[in-house]
Amino acid sequence: MVATKNEENKIAKDSKMENKTYIEAVGRRKTATARVRITESAKNAFIVNDKSLEDYFKVKELSEIASEALTKSKTPTHFSVSAKIKGGGVSSQAEALRLGIARALIIYDKELRKKIKGLGFLKRDPRAKERRKFGLKKARKAPQWSKR
């Protein structure tokens, strides 16, 4: 039986998925979005927007937040992490990166889900800036009221 063009494309896509060497996930916080790719490697290495983790996040606490998912989940294997982050501030970007790494680890090993979820790294923080309403100066701040 001869395979049609659609079947050939489907076979090609399936074989590409099997040879995939990395796991990709997305993490978000406020307006920050982090596209994360993890690969197995000899040691933990971080590349964020073509910079090392320490160069990208100048404050030590932010780099610790970003790598928390790997360090606190105590995964037996080591991963190399590469991420592209857009939007938001540095704090939001660090938390978006943490969520992306946590989601990628779950794809890698389903057994880690319980541990990572217990640490609270799988919850996307829904808080965001409230929109400004018509007639107000800010989201809730109203102009000064005077009786006369």
In the chain, what are the domain boundaries? 18-119
**Architecture in CATH of 18-119:** 2-Layer Sandwich (3.30)
Dist. CA 101–CA 31, nearest whole Å: 18
The pTM of this model reads 0.80
Q: Where are the alpha helices (DSSP H) in 1-148?
A: 5-18, 53-56, 60-73, 90-108, 113-119
2-33 pLDDT, tens digit per residue, is 555 555 444 444 444 445 689 999 999 999 99
48-63 pLDDT, tens digit per residue, is 999 999 999 999 999 9
Looking at residue 74, what is its pLDDT? Answer: 84
84-102 pLDDT, tens digit per residue, is 999 999 999 999 999 999 9
Looking at residue 41, what is its pLDDT? Answer: 85
